[in-house]
Amino acid sequence: MPAFLHAFGAHLPERIVTNEEIGARVGKAAEWIENASGIRERRWAAPETTVADLALAAAQDCLRNAAVDVSSLGMIVVASGSGARGFPGPAAEVAARLGLEGTPAMDVPMASAGSLFGLVLASRMAEAVGDVLVIGAEKMSAVIERGPLDANTAVLFGDGAGAALVSSRQGRWEIIDAALHTDGQFRADLAWDGSSALHMNGLSVIMQAARKIPGAISEVLARQNVAAADVQAFLLHQANQNLLVRVAKALGVAPEKVVSNVARYGNTSSASMLIAASEWAAGNPPAGDVVFGAFGAGFHWGALLARSR
């Protein structure tokens, strides 16, 4: 039985951190940050705000947009690479605060690619459990504040959450196909142990992402005999603007087909793809094919093709 995407939701903290503000802390000019990443500003949550707080707000927004009651949910999946280390993860708290009792809630502790993996999991589970709410929520400001600020990473990240409702009920976008991959030999190139500073081998990450995202997208499109040029929009993990442009070039599509909000929100890790999807869907896009894609620590990556008629 096919699965469908019904609606998206998002939540961004109110506080805007400009390039001037973060640049002053790391000794970089605002122009250098924008030229290097395409980012002009990002949102940071208040110190007392948790990943679960962000996730709950995005979940509620998604349920409003889908016009469904929380009681219809058969499962919750919360993807976060910045959630507190240890257990339980944020999924159980989100389920409780939504008022659910007995509904399974699963954590996907995966940075950047977590919401994509969550969507694919939800598409497989929807027939058995009913509506599945997938949430990507990240408080990356807390991660970068853990150690001495590194100009190469501190300027990139923001906080936020996105959500999507997946169901076997007929919906707006049918999930057609997906591909997921992992290559653990590069796991040390992007890592955070929960207590010390984030470690990122920037050259390795950008080189691998620039190859693997278009590779996974091409894999899925080839199986479905869909040309990249015929895809209406590409909703990708918002790592930085340079990567989005490189993916567009590799696929041979116009850069404007790759939805981008990284200039306003920075890299919100596993939240970014669903935040971008929420803003895109709010624009009432026409019918057609849309591709989701992500790459993250692990390395984990993949792509998903959805279609509206």
Could you tell me the pLDDT band of residue 236, with boundaries at 50, 70 and 90?
Answer: very high
Segment 140-167 mean pLDDT: 93
What's the confidence (pLDDT) of residue 195? 83
What phi and psi values does residue 213 have, to the nearest 5 degrees?
-65, -55
Is the pLDDT reported for residue 171 higher than 80? Answer: yes
Contact 108, 89 (CB under 8 A): no
pLDDT confidence band for 300 (50 / 70 / 90)? very high
Match 């793809």 to its residue by tokens: 273
CA separation, residue 278 to residues 29, 162, 296 (Å): 31, 7, 20
How does pLDDT run across 185-210, given as a tens digit for each residue? 999 999 998 888 889 998 899 999 99
pLDDT at residue 51 is higher than 90: yes
pLDDT band per the 50, 70, 90 thresholds, residue 251: very high
Determine the residue type at 165.
Answer: L
All domains in the chain, ordered by first residue: 3-167 (3.40.47.10), 173-308 (3.40.47.10)
Mean pLDDT of 237-247: 97
Token pair, residue 1, equals 């039985």
Res 201: pLDDT: 92
State mean pLDDT over 133-150: 92
Residue pair 234/246 in contact by the 8 Å Cβ criterion: no
Alpha helix (H) residue ranges in 135-201 = 140-144, 151-154
42-51, 193-202, 247-256: range with lowest mean pLDDT: 193-202
Q: Is a pLDDT exceeding 90 seen at residue 99?
A: yes
* Residue 28: per-residue pLDDT: 96
Average of per-residue pLDDT values in the chain:
96
Please check whether residue 268 is in contact with residue 238, taking contact to mean a CB–CB distance below 8 angstroms.
Answer: yes
What is the percent of the chain where pLDDT is above 90?
92
257 within 8 A of 285, measured Cβ to Cβ: no
